[in-house]
Chains A and B, each alone.
Chain A
Amino acid sequence: MFTNLEKCPRNLLICEKSSFLNEKSRHATHVAKHFFNYKVSVLIPECGIIPSGLRSVVSSFSKYYLLKNLPVYKLLEEEFLEKVVKKGCLYALSYKTRIDQDNTFALLPTGQVILSVDKDTYEELGLEGKASQYNHRQPMRYVVTIDLTDKSMAAGGKRYKRVMWALQEKVQLTSDFLLARYSTGGDGEDLLQSFFSQYSSKELRPSISSQTFKNLLCPSLDPTDLRGDTRSCDPQQFLEWLGAVTMDISCNNEAASFVSAYCCPEPQSSVSQALLCTTTGLLLPEDIHSLLEELRRYFDEPRFTSWLSVTVHGFADSPVSWGGTEHGFHKGGENFYTFVLFKNQDYWLHMATGANDGCPP
């Protein structure tokens, strides 16, 4: 009778096991390709205070800007395009726009502008795009991708003029933007500053918070046993536990308890304390990469713990998740990855996505 009610949208979890010392290890590309990161949380068992190295890396994360009512075409104006956008490392994502109902825009560091627009806007805009992959019977959402590095998009070219006409005169798409640039110290810096001064902008720094847990039940992990046959718990259980810890959910309930029967997965061990350090904002992949490098160095000194974990959450309303793969919001819009770093420079990488998302790389 209720069989239809028992169906659920699909979700994907990709687990990888490799070593940082392995030359073919793709951890760097995985990090670099996940463009829009909202939150990073680091969990270090057997640690009470933030290690100084970690603190300095986290506090040196790039600042980002909130720009109010920025028309999209301003990002494509000739001077800005040549001196800032084409130099790379510029990330922009529309803020407070919901990808399942609003028009959402993103500028990728690879020089692509992605406009995820609803049907009516698309029909008025007059720019060629593709119907979104996650449409129900009738296409209600379209994705327009403008590759700024393409020859035809050279300033003054026919296609460039068409794009500018569409965004400037036909439909002036405007939104609040989160914008950040990984600074490599170039000449575009002054221009970027003058650009910000034209709009009501706000300079923001990623907010950092930390928390210590006492007497925590903690699953034991063995780097060789990713699947969780005997020496570790399976990846789903581990991620569930990680979530429970981050959200401060109690892990030692009795099996017959009325309220909750959640327990820490086996095999487990008790940890006297654990540190959770969380950073939120528009976080750049470059910064996350340096954080990862710093955490690898954590095991240079002898430590009580054999592993630590880093979880990176993507923006739920970003039009892309990994690289250029289209991202949508079905029930949750989740796209995140978790690194588990081991003492011997091995790592696990768990990448998870919800229903409206491509398979992570």
Chain B
Amino acid sequence: MERILHSRLSEDQKIHMGLQSQDGRDAEAFTNAFLKNSVPGLSKEAVKQFMDRKAVVLEFSRKKKEKRRKKRSKGLNAKERRELKVFQLKPEHQRYELFLPLHELWKQYVRDLCNGLKPDSNPQTIQQKLLKADFHGAIITVSRSKCPSYVGTTGILVQEMKHVFKIVTKEDKLKVIPKRNSVFAVEIDGFVSHIYGSKFQLRSSERSAKKFKAKGTIDL
């Protein structure tokens, strides 16, 4: 089969199929004439040199890489979120009793987290757990602050951001309290733990992964 494929065609077949033999001389004559016509400025020598060893690449095109656009998994970017005010509490929702169920939920969550809070539980382990816990729904109090007017503010934490806590107070007021330079007290079932805000300036999702180092003394 292979032999048949590579064998020369017979003269009859050529005529029969209407093929013209491409003799080398004919082709050269044609090329020279064509070049003379299209580039009349060049001498014969120059054309010859030009024709020597010229690799003509036929039918080549670089394959265009298809840019793979990843589709954003998130629906909105920060700017859009800001414009839509998704994370802003509407004034009519800034009510203390509205968040009481959240607080109950949080208490349940912390009890589960710490395997039940008993008076004889080890405060150290509770603190370790709380360090990684989520505080949305906790009742927090500013116990110390460099700015005296923050001291004593109490409310349910409704939103935690990198640098601020947003709380709703009993007077149905939304208060934004910077974490920096304040110490917060969180009370649950008789256990009070203090949060040094300056060391807590992380998003709650990042905090769960952070390793806190024990330090000898901390000042605000």
Distance, CA A239 to CA B143, complexed state (A) = 50
A159 to chain B, nearest CB (A): 12
Contact indicator B149/A124 (Cβ below 8 Å): no
- Chain A residues with CB under 8 A of B150: 126
Tell me if A125 and B151 are in contact (CB < 8 A). Answer: yes
The answer to the question of A127 belonging to the interface, with a C-beta cut-off of 8 Å to chain B, is: yes
Q: Which residues of chain A from 302 to 327 have any CB-CB distance to chain B below 8 Å in the complex?
A: none
Residue B148 interfacial (CB < 8 Å): yes
A129 to B145, CA, bound (A): 13
Chain B residue at minimal CB-CB distance from A170: B152
Residues of A near B151 (CB, < 8 A) are: 123-126, 166, 170
| A123 nearest in chain B by CB position | B144
Q: Collect the chain A residues with CB atoms within 8 Å of residue B152's CB.
A: 126, 165-166, 170
List which A44-75 residues lie within 8 A (CB) of chain B.
Answer: none
B220 contacts partner chain A, Cβ-Cβ < 8 Å: yes
A: interface residue count bin:
10 to 19
Contact partner of B148 among A120, A125, A165, CB < 8 A? A125
Interface 1/0s, chain B 123-164, versus A by CB < 8 A? Answer: 000000000000000000001111011111000000000000
Closest to A162 in B: B152
Interface centre among A124, A126, A165, A166 (most CB of B within 10 A): A126
Least CB distance from A128 to B in Å reads 5
B169 to A: closest C-beta gap in Å:
15
Most chain A CB inside 10 Å of its own CB: which residue of B144, B148, B150, B183: B148
Once the chains are docked, how many angstroms separate the CA of A361 from the CA of B145? Answer: 36
Residues of B contacting A123 with CB < 8 Å?
A: 144-146, 148, 151, 183, 220
Asked if B220 and A126 sit within 8 Å, CB to CB, the answer is no
A122 interface contact, C-beta 8 A? yes
How many angstroms between the C-alpha atoms of A132 and B148 in the bound complex?
15
Pick from B144, B148, B220: contact of A129, CB below 8 A: B148
Q: Using a Cβ cutoff of 8 Å, how many contacts connect chains A and B?
A: 29
Report A-chain residues with C-beta under 8 Å of the C-beta of B183: 123
Nearest chain A CB to B183 CB, angstrom units: 8
Query: When chains A and B are docked, how far (Å) is the Cα of A170 from the Cα of B145?
Result: 13
Write out the residue numbers on chain A whose beta carbons fall within 8 Å of the beta carbon of B220: 123
Please name all residues of chain B whose beta carbon is closer than 8 Å to the beta carbon of A126 when the two chains form the complex: 145, 148-152
Q: Which residues of chain B are within 8 angstroms of A122 by Cβ–Cβ distance?
A: 148
Q: Which residues of B contact A127 (CB under 8 A)?
A: 148
List residues of chain A with CB within 8 A of the CB of B149. 126, 128
- B-side contacts of A170, CB under 8 Å: 151-152
CB distance from A85 to the nearest CB of B (A): 23
State how many angstroms separate the Cβ of B22 from the closest Cβ of chain A. Answer: 96
| Of B150, B151, B183, B220, most A-chain CB atoms within 10 Å | B151
In the complex, which residues of chain B have a beta carbon less than 8 angstroms from the beta carbon of A128? 148-149
Q: Considering the chains assembled together, what is the distance between the CA atoms of A296 and B149 in angstroms?
A: 52
Give A120 to B220 CA distance when docked, in angstroms: 10
* Minimum CB–CB distance for B151 against chain A, Å: 3
Q: What's the minimum C-beta distance from A152 to chain B, rounded to whole angstroms?
A: 14
- Which residues of A lie under 8 Å from residue B145 when comparing CB positions? 123, 126
**Please, which residue of chain B has its CB at the minimum distance from the CB of A127?**
B148
Residues of B17-51 whose CB lies within 8 A of A: none
CB distance from B189 to the nearest CB of A (A): 22
Q: Please provide the chain B residues from 146 to 193 with a CB less than 8 Å away from any CB of chain A in the complex.
A: 146, 148-152, 183
Best-buried of A123, A129, A165, A166 by chain B (most CB within 10 Å)? A123
Which residue of chain B has its CB nearest to the CB of A126? B151
Please measure, in the bound complex, the distance between the C-alpha atom of A127 and the C-alpha atom of B149, giving whole angstroms.
7
Once bound together, how far apart are the Cα atoms of A122 and B146, in whole Å? Answer: 8
Min C-beta distance of B187 to chain A, whole Å = 15
Which of chain A's residues has its CB closest to B220's CB?
A123
CA distance A122 to B145 in the complex (A): 9
Shortest CB–CB separation between residue B7 and chain A, in angstroms? 101
Minimal beta-carbon separation of B91 from chain A (angstroms): 23
Name the interface residues of A117-144: CB closer than 8 Å to any CB of B: 120, 122-129
Q: How far is the CA of A170 from the CA of B143 in the complex (A)?
A: 9
The smallest C-beta distance from A118 to any residue of chain B, in angstroms, reads 13
**How distant is the Cα of A259 from the Cα of B52 in the complex, in angstroms?**
119
A68 and B183 CA atoms in complex are apart in Å by: 32
In the assembled complex, the Cα of A47 lies from the Cα of B178 at a distance in Å of 70
Top 10 closest pairs, chain A to chain B, by CB: A126-B151, A123-B144, A126-B148, A124-B144, A128-B148, A126-B152, A127-B148, A123-B145, A123-B146, A170-B152
A123-B146, A123-B148 provided; 10 other pairs, C-beta below 8 A? A122-B148, A123-B183, A124-B144, A125-B148, A126-B145, A126-B149, A126-B150, A128-B149, A166-B151, A170-B151
Q: List 20 A-B contacts (CB under 8 A).
A: A120-B144, A122-B148, A123-B144, A123-B145, A123-B146, A123-B148, A123-B220, A124-B144, A124-B151, A125-B151, A126-B150, A126-B151, A126-B152, A128-B148, A128-B149, A129-B148, A165-B152, A166-B151, A166-B152, A170-B152
Partner-A contacts on B (CB < 8 A): 143-146, 148-152, 183, 220
